[in-house]
Structure 1
């Protein structure tokens, strides 16, 4: 990362942002000799440092500073895409406290009963870029739908359908994978759908517009970022360098 235009930061701010303690606690630890910068014990945590180039040690451990975190979560059903909720568990409740100090938030949302790819970050600029209605970032879902989804549905979706509130959707790409019959005789269709906007309950409402009901929904991609197939429901990991490049970021940010 280029250092051009970058300003230094107070040492205690750097450490508190990484969850090493409050400024008051860090002041005490500094007096005890717990903080070392470039080989020198730092008694005054108010001194300014460059966290990207200075070597900062806390209680004998070299810290790795970063401003942003980028987390891929395989969101489980029953968890809400929010930073707080009075009734339900949120996606932040799934994260380790070491990540919570960065104050991440979900980029967009998935319905409570929907599973799949959810990106969590504290990079507000990236969130704006990915969610901007003008960008029309494609999002692909896998779904199980009650009823036989056919080529006529694919044609209607390709032209755009009108939702219950009168909104006409952008063209969407519907792929039909297979059919199976439920014990009660109802035909279930396994499909993939790629949409280019993010209206409330959009996938479900699109199928309702053609007389069908979504009974299972999973988001598998957002732009070029795809859900890691090995990531079990409810688990998460940080994005790889390759994945960061797909969203226009680098590991050194």
Structure 2
């Protein structure tokens, strides 16, 4: 994606994760950076990303403004960009991606894992998190207690949390019943600790939680905890094309 304004060459290369300003000045001094076929002699040279042809060490530079990463968040890592005491999801990325200053879209509890989108596209993040969009989020959970059809119906109607809030209708699918049950749950909002609090409202406790989908974006099963990959153009397009509320009609009518 081309930028609309000219930028300093050293700032642009730093933004692309090619090194610190000092390292980039050295590259330019050593004539390892070319602009439109000529060695760049000045780190302060103003270039137009997407229009000026830039090479570094003989390789063409493909400029982009945004980065979109799918992370399989491991347990024990905070969904944040920085923290004084704990490891955060951005710490899992190499410098070339951290240079874009990506941030997590939404949050996953520290002890939860699974799908987390990291990007520096604020417009897309706002769209995905907007309460008006009701973007569905699907979780796999292990629950202490027998999950029954009574719970399925309670979630379909919306349950009352510990603060008195009645949740929107949710889709609960039982995968395995027992003293320890396995379920999939799709919710259409994002209250604090919502999944855990919903099960607590029906007398059960979540012992393991993993997000497996957010809107049209589904966790890549090939990604191990802590691994990430860039989104495909198709995945980005689907996220950008999200429209207002897509609640299933039967769930929507269940809301009292």
**TM norm structure 1:** 0.89
1:89-168 equivalent positions in 2, closer than 5 A: 89-168=87-166
Distance in 2 (CA, whole Å) between partners of 1:29 and 1:147 is 61
1:99-138: CA deviations, max 9, x gaps? 1111111111100110100001111111111111111110
Cα 1:27–1:77 change in 2 (3 A) is: closer
Distance in 2 (CA, whole Å) between partners of 1:20 and 1:225 is 29
Q: Quote the residue 2:37 is aligned against.
A: 39
2:225 matched to 1:227? no
* Greater mean alpha carbon deviation, residues 88-97 or residues 50-59: 50-59
Deviation at 1:28, TM superposition (A): 4.8
**Which runs of 5 or more residues in structure 1 are unaligned?**
181-186
Q: Quote the residue 2:184 is aligned against.
A: 192
Cα 1:234–1:29 change in 2 (3 A) is: closer
Q: Quote the residue 1:184 is aligned against.
A: none
Distance in 1 (CA, whole Å) between partners of 2:139 and 2:213 is 7
Q: Quote the residue 1:80 is aligned against.
A: 78
Distance in 2 (CA, whole Å) between partners of 1:61 and 1:87 is 39
Distance in 1 (CA, whole Å) between partners of 2:37 and 2:216 is 43
* Greater mean alpha carbon deviation, residues 211-220 or residues 23-32: 23-32
Asked whether the equivalents of residues 142 and 182 of structure 2 are also in contact (C-alpha less than 8 Å), the reply is: yes
Distance in 2 (CA, whole Å) between partners of 1:169 and 1:221 is 19
Distance in 1 (CA, whole Å) between partners of 2:93 and 2:18 is 17
Q: Quote the residue 1:59 is aligned against.
A: 57
Which of 12, 15, 26 matches 2:13? Answer: 15
**TM norm structure 2:** 0.88
Distance in 1 (CA, whole Å) between partners of 2:31 and 2:113 is 48
Q: How many residues align?
A: 241
Distance in 1 (CA, whole Å) between partners of 2:35 and 2:62 is 13
Q: Quote the residue 2:237 is aligned against.
A: 245
